[in-house]
Every structure is written in structure tokens, then in C-alpha cells.
Amino acid sequence: MAKKRKAPSLGGRLRKGTRKQKQVQAKKKASRQAVPSSFSVLVDVSRLLKANWRSLGGIMLVYLILNIVFASGLSNVINNFSVVKENLATDNSFSNALSGLGSLLGSSASGDSQSGSALQSVLLVIGSLAIIWALRQLMAKKEFSVKGAYYKSMFPLIPFLLVVFVIIIQLLPITLGSAIVALISSTLASSGTATFIMALALVPLFAWSAYMLSSSIFALYIVTLPDMQPRQALRSAKKLVEFRRLKVIRRILFLPLFILIAMAIIVLPLIVFVHFLVVPVFYLLSILALLVTHAYLYSLYRGLLNAK
């Protein structure tokens, strides 16, 4: 008699899925995880700033004073606005006001000298660390002083700078691409079609930089955790946005657009009608933009954590 084959045991070892199957399952799981919308993050930020305006305002006041005293940021804005006023004296049009706003934005991004730019960068790092530390304390419902925010937030300085260095490298594709396109446009008498083609060439470079930055930007907040190494922070940030990168990129790109529109709504009428208020209001807004940026990105980071 032929031997009967044994039926497979239900308790036997099941085959493990392949690497591709695991990736598909992880992608499906990530697609079901809700990513907070840009407007919901803005609502959270507004509530946070409203509830803690004294402590956060104290941090920004110190940052403002340090910028005025050491980085000559206010004098740079004043010098640039004097040129804007001369242009508006000849033609007080909306296009000239818009051009003046662009000039002010450019002046706030760069100092009036190499030493001023270097000091601005140093103060930007110090202010960012203090804000991130304060936001973490507020999320944990812990009280703190302004002095403590600046003293206690400096411990992850070196890891933070290493992550910043990685971000600068990731910005190289779009930075170099823009410089090359600008050089070609200035040296060659290119037509509108040629300019359009060169602008299209920047799209993949911009997408490349945005793809890398969509995870690395959250490493700035992860690396400030105790005993966190930069490489570990970058890996954790990459895992945080895994299979959700496109949604995260949209949320990140919304931030500079929102800040520019908000500044334009406030500053453009002042440029046209109330000149003497332009410099102090614009300078205060540029200082507050740093706080709003970190509050928005940190709230988005916490939202991504809670969604996992």
C-alpha cells in the first residue's frame, strides 16, 4: 500500500514575506497614517504662541537685541530701505513697492559685511537651539526661564551643527543649478524660450534637494534630544517620513509661502503709505519669522510622530 502524505501542520512555521512584500505592507500602513494638514499645524502654532507669548517673547527679545548689537541687522535694513524710498519718490506704484519688499527680504538674508553675515549665522544657530529647547519644554508642560532657555539649550551644539552641514550639502543641487542658470542668462542674449528651458532644467534639481531636505530638516529637532548622534538623528528622520515624503514636502513648502504672503500683506501698505513704520515692522516680522518657522516645523514633527 502506498504511504499517505501527511497534511501540512497548521502550527508549522509560516514563510516570511520577501523584502518587497514588506515594503508594500509598510507603504500601505504609512498611507493609512494621517499627516496633519498645513492649516491644522498653523492652528496649533497660533494656540501655542498665544498661550506662551511671554516666555517665547522673552527669548525673541534677547535674540532681537543680540542681532541689533552684534550683527548690525537693523542698520542693514535701514540702508536698503533708503534706496527703496528713493525709487518710490519717483514712482509710488505697487510694482515698485513689491520690488522694495524683495530688496528688504534680500537685505534680511545677508549682512552688510562678511563679519555681519557670520555673526548673523552664529546668532541664528543660538536662537534656533533656544527656541527648539523651549518648544520641547512647553510640549512637556514644563516651566522655564529665558536665561535657562539660552543656557540649557546649548548642549547639542556640535551635533546640531553637523546636521546643519548635511542640510547645506543637500542644498547644493538647487544652489549650484540656480547659479549656473543665472550665469548663462547674464552672459548670453537668450530668448524667452531659452530662459524657459533653463528654468525647466532647475525643476529636477529643486526636486532632488526638496526630497533630501524633507527628512533632514526634522533631524534638527531629533538631534537636540539627549544622547542623540547626528547619524542616528538623520536615520530616524528618514524613517519618520518614509512613504509619506510627498505629503511632508507639501507641508514644508507651504511654510515659506505663508510667511511671504503674511509679510507682504502687512509690509506692502506700509511701504506705499506709512514709510516710517516699514523698518521697525519689517525687522520685527523677520525676527518673528524664525519663531514661527520652528514652531510650525516642530508641531509638524510631533504630528508625524503621533501618527506613526
Cα of first residue to Cα of last residue in the chain, in angstroms, is: 58
Looking at the fold, whether 142 and 164 belong to one and the same domain comes out as no
| HSE of 164, CA atoms in CB hemisphere, 13 A | 14
Looking at the fold, whether 54 and 179 belong to one and the same domain comes out as no
Count other Cβ atoms within 10 Å, centred on residue 199. Answer: 12
Can you give the residue range of the structural domain that contains 305?
37-154+260-308
Cell of 159: 551635533
CA distance 48 to 54: 11
Looking at the fold, whether 211 and 143 belong to one and the same domain comes out as no
Place of cell 500601505: 28
pLDDT at residue 199, as a whole number: 77
Mean pLDDT, 10 residues at a time, the chain of 308 residues: 50 55 57 81 96 96 90 71 71 76 75 72 96 96 94 95 97 89 69 73 91 97 96 96 94 96 92 86 93 98 89
CA distance 96 to 102: 10
pLDDT at residue 22, as a whole number: 58
Looking at the fold, whether 169 and 147 belong to one and the same domain comes out as no
This prediction has a pTM of: 0.85
Looking at the fold, whether 47 and 167 belong to one and the same domain comes out as no
CB 45 within 8 A of CB 288: no
Nearest to 76 by CA among 119, 23, 29: 119
Looking at the fold, whether 57 and 194 belong to one and the same domain comes out as no
Place of cell 534680511: 108
pLDDT at residue 20, as a whole number: 63
CA distance 195 to 184: 9
What one-letter code names the amino acid at 47?
R
Looking at the fold, whether 77 and 200 belong to one and the same domain comes out as no
How far lies 20's CA from each of 202, 238, 240, in Å?
32, 19, 19
CB 71 within 8 A of CB 123: yes
Q: State the total domains in the chain.
A: 2
CA distance 268 to 281: 11
